[in-house]
Amino acid sequence: MDLSEVHCRNHSALDLTVVGVLRAMVSDWRVAWRWHHPSTEGSETKLNESRKILSIDGGGIKGVFPAAFLADIEETLEHPLHSYFDLIAGTSTGGIIALGLGLGLRASEILEFYRKYGPQIFRGNRFILTLKQAFWRRYSHEKLRGALEETFGTKTLADAKSRLVIPAMNIDTGDVHIFKTQHHPKFERDYKVSAVEVALATASAPTYFPILQTTSEFPLVDGGLWANNPTGLAAVEAIGVLEWPRDKVSVLSIGCTEEPFDVGLLRRRNIGWLWATKTVDAFMKGQSSGSLGTAYTLFGHDRVLRINQTVSHGRFGMDSTKQITELAGLGKNRARNEAPRIKDIFFAATVEPFKPTV
């Protein structure tokens, strides 16, 4: 019964008082209900809706591993892979994969990108390239840019079908530079940037490629300098920017293979020059561990699933294209083993289509 329609037959003072109190109680109850059950109509996140994140590490040509993993998974899906994730983050080679998926490419097409263009991009005599790297950078942007233009054409981040987060770094200021789709009202610039430029920026690894001077005159280098594993970055984006409930978010984080970490006995004794060959490895291992730790802290260990393949020391190189077939085989085999564990979490249903903010 709606107490706003209660009438007092005799209109006594007591009756009117009681009705007034009851009306106030109903009003307070309605306010309390709205307070604890806010309307989600038109909001970015519905409280009863799960969110799924895909994160892909950097690793040069070793991006074949996550590309093959995802291609094998996608073969069993009814829809393109991007339609199963609310947010995709990727760094360096992982950024190229993230861009490709976000723009609607199938994972098998991205795997073919590595097969077709990898040997062209990373072409040259290994000994000469190593000497060259000591004083210059190994490669130019020419082959990589050509491959990206063939694959992405003139598309920009505005053409993305998924929310994207792609890190780079401004080498002049030391500031991080993160390319993002227009998934928040304050993101008013990046969606105009070409996918080719974003890919070149996030993949311009120092000593391998030159600094990218963007059309906006930013000197950018590989996002792997600070977020080679972008899982933590994606987690912060989900909580801090998109304001998704942390108990509704699941993360699939994929690496580009890893080697057992061991600095060796002499380095433990702080023999300085020996650290020259291990500093980068130690930095990358620490960054990845910290990134995953951020995601574990925000979402819990049970909501962050990490996929990576441990391989022997020196088995795969950042720019060694002779092992593309082996990397693809490892990725597909890992997908077959992991499919039963991840399908119900990430691929049971598609997500709500991404609609850029205006």
Buried b (16+ CB within 10 A) or exposed e, 112-141: ebbeebbeebbeeeeeebeeeeeeebbbeb
- Identify the active-site residue in 55, 222, 253, 291: 222
User: Hey, is 109 helix, strand or coil?
Assistant: helix
Nearest residue to 222 via CA among 234, 210, 233, 214:
210
Do 135 and 115 touch, CB atoms closer than 8 A?
Answer: no
How far is 200 from 222, CA to CA, in rounded Å? 8
How far is 182 from 191, CA to CA, in rounded Å? 6
* Other C-beta atoms lying within 10 Å of the C-beta of residue 92: 32
Assess whether 320 carries a catalytic annotation: no
Please count the CA atoms within 13 angstroms of the CA of 181 that sit on its side-chain side: 28
Assess whether 172 carries a catalytic annotation: no
How far is 216 from 202, CA to CA, in rounded Å? 15
* Residues recognised as catalytic: 92, 222
